[in-house]
Each structure stands twice: as structure tokens, then as C-alpha cells.
Structure 1
Amino acid sequence: MNALKKLNNKLIPYFNIQQVNDDYLICNDAWDEIRGLPTMFSLWFSFLMMIGLIILLIGFPGFLSESGFSLISLIGIIFLLGGIFSFFKIFNISFGRELFGYAHYPLIFNRKNQELHYFEPYQKKWISAPWSDYHFSININENHEYAVNASLIDQNEIIQQVVVFPFRFRSLSLVEGHWEFFRRYMAGEDLEKLKKNIHYYAPNVIDRKEIARETWFRLKLLRFSERDYLTDQVKLPSDFNLNLLIFGIPQFLIRRLCVRTSKTPQVPREWIN
């Protein structure tokens, strides 16, 4: 996408902006709204997998003693090794990002210095480059959701890093409006005009962790409410209380566990001063 071309789409800042002023904008990463959900499913899957592995470990010696090394034994070994491998992959992907990781993974748009900074969740390091060095595109994922990607490409045109903007949706027009909000901010458009499009802010947690009340509000807003981005309306569906009871409370508890076991990323002061 052209970082200079102006689009006429409705501006969609989304609900992840923590701070915004004339010098910089700080927002949460694209996966903040499902924080705790991957860990919740990973814990459940790991529990079932551990039961299966225990059954295999208990039954495996019996297979060998009764029939020697047979096809059943070979299948048992494959399942055993596959289960162990899957367990460690789940730990590295879900637990490594959420449990004992960082409390949030901020994006910092510094328009004073024309830079974009992002804390990468798996490498646990800051990605930082001039705004003009990024190549912007809108991609579609396996769930048919569009998202804005900012990529850093080396001299051989190989992608080295990808930063995903904090909004994924099945409407291309709305995602283009999301890109346009940040493009206009970095282009220096009047801040007061842009702020009129921001109806909900994320907790300002740049130097701290979100508290329980903030976690609960975020879940209600992002996971269990109906949002009309064209009219900027947020309403509660008819099954809101039931969904909140069955799915909301478990995710709330897991998300609190993730936050409590994680560290706060240290933002270099020169980026936000």
C-alpha cells in the first residue's frame, strides 16, 4: 500500500489505543483481545494429552512383552514421540507468549521522529525502524480476516520482520479504514480531528499491568459485545450473560493468571518523550 495515498474510508482506530498525542501513539498488539484464550485451550488440550501419554507409558511395556516389537509397538512409539513434541510446541507457542511472557506487546507510532516500534512476542525484543522503511500491505488469513501488515524487507527482498496492526476483520473496507487512521496520524493530520474517531481507549498500561477491573471491561467489550463499526455503536447481545458465565469467567481467570505471571516491557524513554 502507498503510505502517501489518502483513502476516503471511514476511520477505524479500533479499541486498542492506550495513549495518543502530537508526538506518539501507543496501542496494544493485534492479539490483545484474545489474551488468555490460547492458554485456556492449551491447558485443556495439554491435560487430555497428558492422560493419553500416561496411558501409553503404562501400556507400552505390555505391548513389548506380549508381542515383541510389532506394528502396534511402532504406532505407540510414534504417538508417544508425537505427543511429547506437541506438548513442547504448545508450551513454546501459547505459554511462551502469554504465561511468563510480557503483560502486553505494544506498538508505538512515533510521528515526531517518523518511526514505528513493536515488541515482538516470541523473540522478546523490540523491532524498531523508520516509518519509511516498512512495506505496508493488507493480507487475509486462514479465517478469511483481513489485517494490515508492516514488513521489513532486506536487500534481497526477503521479509525479515512483520508487524501486524491491531485490527482483524472480514471487511476489506473497514480494515482499509483502520490503515487510513494510522496513515493519517503518521502523515501529521490534525490530532483533534483524528481523536473524534476514538470512542474507547485501552487501559494505559505502558508502565504497569492491567488490573482486574480493566481485564473484565476489556473482555466484555472485545469478546462478548456486538460492535457496529459504521455507526460506532456497541451493544450487548441477548445471550450476553450466558456467554459471559460459560466463557467469560474462565477466560478472565486465565487472562489474570497470564498478566500476573508476566513482566512489563520496558519502553525506551526516548520513544515516548
Structure 2
Amino acid sequence: MDYAGLTAKYQVNRPLSDAEKQHHLPQNKASNAEPLAQISVIKINSTYLECSDKFYPWKGLMAAFTSFVSLLCSYTALSILNIAISKYPTESAAQQSESLLFVPIILVSVAIPSLLALWFLKKEAFCYTHYPLRFNRKTGMVHVFRLDGTTLSVPWREIHFALNPAQMRNFWEVRGHVLSEDRSTVLETFVLPTYASWDSPYLLAQWEFVRHYMEKGPAQLLDKVQYTLDITDRHETFWFGFQRLMAEFSVAPLLAWLMSPLLFPLAIVRWVTMRTCKIPQWPEDVVAQSQIDPEDRYQRDAQHSYVPPQQQN
């Protein structure tokens, strides 16, 4: 539900801040966090790890809220206008003049929130279903699918990862900063999918998952990936989207079921929003670098699902 980087872009072409230097996360240094996938993995194998973006879990929420606000403003303004028009024939000439002056005010009061809602709506609808991150440990490269559909490719070791405050109050996120040759200027920024409070055990969990994968491989991580996102080349189903929204309350199942009456209509908006979006496609050079060995035993994706240990032969 944090939209930093989507509604307002990260600041670039600026000096790396002292806080970003202080909260630097070196790639070759393990944190104290337990590596967790955080229901963000699309694919993991010996070649690459692909994750969804941080906006994906709550996709549709902004569209639902802005649509509701726009409709409410429009309904209110048009209701007032209807009342004014119905009384117009019985009013005096002076009152009729005032009513005519009132019409453009009503139209502007409808237009402004509607245009603002449309601006926010286009941040989620008529764009891409998600913005994947691909960490290729064979080539040592990180590939980022940007909001405009272009891609960024940068060596893993050259990225300055750091904890940065998120847009939501008291929440933090792990951002990757692409630096200039002098290692002092931020040229571009992307973010890992998870954000959490400073004292949360989940704040660095996904960073440690990604770091462990790139530094040590998938062997010890595979059993931690019990769920993958089947969104590589298809739109998610309505039921899948509803489950993904419910998963945000997985730590409190009772709360999830109490919230389900609200999440169900949100899932409908999410499904419609997703259908307006394109599925992201990696460029040919990224695909060429990401070939998977058919015999790779460290695969987990929609076609290679998790099997509990007790069911394994």
C-alpha cells in the first residue's frame, strides 16, 4: 500500500545521502534476518530469481479508491446541479443569474477531482500488470523492468543497496541505487518488493533472500518458496487476485476472513484493472542470458510447484 516510486518518482541525479551510506547493505555481508520470499517469487532456478514489484500485492486499491472518490464527487455535484435546474423556472431574474454563474463552479468541481482520479488511475490501469525484477546469478546482472516499459541492466556488485524510509510513516524499504562512476551520484533507483517497520523481522528478510541467492545460490532457499506467482505470461485469474489480497493478512487469518467482504469487491476492481494492463516482456538480450537447464533441480515456478517433504519420494 506504499506508493513511493509510483505516484512520485525517486529522486535521481543527486548525491548519495549520508543516511544511505550509513544504512548501506553490502552484498557480501549477511544480515541477521532469516531469508524469506514474502510471496513475491515468480521464478527461481539455478540461473535467475525473478520477483514481482512492491506495488503488485495491492494492485487495484488505488484504482478502486480514486474511482470511488471521482464518482462520489460527480454524484454530489450533479445532484446539486439538478436541484438548481429544477428550481430555475420558479426563481426571480436575479436568482436565475446567480444560478447560471453557479453552473461553471459545479462543472469545475466535477472536472478537477475527476482529472486527478484519472491521473492516479493511470498509475495502475492501462500500464503493466507488474514490474518484475530479475536477478541473474550466472551473469551477475540485475534486470529491472521500469514503469515506462523499458529495462535497466546493471551488475549486481555495482549496485548500492540501502535502507530508505518509505512513503508510509515509520516504514522502511530496501532500495537499489545505481551510481555514477565516482560512486557518489545516484543515477537511478529501484526497490525490492517488501517494506516494513524498522523493528520488524521482515524488513531485511527479502533482502537476505535475494542476497543469499546471488551470493550462494538457490539450494538452501528452495524450500522457503512454497508459493509462486503464475503471472509470467498470463493475466492472473480473479480467484488468484483475491487470494493474493487475502495473503496480506496471512499473519492473522481471522482478520483476513473478517476483511474478506471488503477485499472481495476490491478483487473485482483488481481483476478489471489487470485486464487493462499489458504483461511485461523482457527484451531478447535478457531472455538470451536467462536460459534454464531443463534438468535444473532447483526450479520453482508455476510448472514446478512446492512439494512438502513428507510427500517427496
TM superposition score category, shorter chain reference = 0.7 to 0.9
Post-superposition Cα deviations, 1:194-250, rounded to whole Å, max 9, x if no partner, equal: 2232233222x212211233223222222x432xxxxxxxx621x543321x21211
Specify whether residues 135 and 18 from structure 1 end up closer, same or farther in structure 2 by C-alpha distance, changes over 3 A only: same
Amino acid at match of 1:159: V
Task: Name 2:253's counterpart in structure 1.
Answer: 236
TM-score, normalised relative to structure 2 = 0.70
1:30: which partner in 2?
Answer: 54
Q: Please, which of 17, 20, 42 is the counterpart of residue 18 of structure 1?
A: 42
- 1:109 offset after TM fit, Å? 0.9
SS at match of 1:193: coil
Give the counterpart letter for 1:210 in structure 2. E
What is aligned with 2:154? 129
Residue among 192, 201, 209 paired with 1:181: 209
Which one of 211, 232, 237 corresponds to residue 211 of structure 1?
A: 237
Q: Does 1:138 align with 2:153?
A: no
Task: Give the SS at the match of 2:208.
Answer: helix
Change (3 A) 1:89 1:193: same
CA RMSD of aligned residues (A): 3.0
> Are 2:147 and 1:110 equivalent residues in the alignment?
no
Q: Which amino acid aligns with 2:60?
A: G
Query: What pairs up with 1:77-88 in 2 under 5 angstroms?
Result: 84-88=111-115
The number of residues matched between the two structures is 252
Q: Give the superposition deviation at 1:271.
A: 4.3
User: In 1, distance between residues paired with 2:200 and 2:132?
Assistant: 24
Deviation at 1:63, TM superposition (A): 8.7
1:56-95 correspondence to structure 2 within 5 Å: 65-66=97-98, 84-93=111-120, 95=121
List gaps (5 residues or longer) in structure 1: 227-234
Q: TM-score w.r.t. structure 1 length?
A: 0.79
Does the C-alpha gap of structure 1 residues 116 and 65 become closer, same or farther in structure 2, counting only changes over 3 Å? same
Structure 2 counterpart of 1:236, one-letter code:
P
Aligned to 1:165: 192
DSSP 3-state at the match of 2:212: helix
Post-superposition CA distance 1:93-121 (Å, at most 9, x none): 3x223222112211111111111122222
Unaligned runs of 5+ residues in structure 2 are: 1-23, 85-93, 292-313
Equivalent-residue separation in structure 1 for 2:108 and 2:179 (angstroms): 37
Q: CA, structure 1 residues 129+56, in 2 after alignment: closer, same or farther (shift >3 Å)? A: farther
Partner of 2:298: none
Amino acid at match of 2:288: E
The verdict on how the C-alpha distance between 1:82 and 1:150 changes in structure 2, with shifts beyond 3 A counting, is farther
Higher share in helix: 1
Find the counterpart in structure 1 of residue 271 from structure 2. 256
Label 1:169 to 1:84 Cα distance change in 2 as closer, same or farther (>3 A): same
The structure number with the bigger radius of gyration is 2
CA displacement, residues 14-39 of structure 1 (integer Å, 9 cap, x when unaligned): 11101101110111111211111111
Contact 1:146/1:172, CA 8 A, preserved across alignment: no
CA separation in 2, counterparts of 1:4 and 1:160?
Answer: 23
Change beyond 3 A, Cα 1:260–1:68: closer
Q: Residue 135 of structure 1: CA displacement?
A: 1.6
8 Å CA contact retained: 2:51, 2:132 = yes
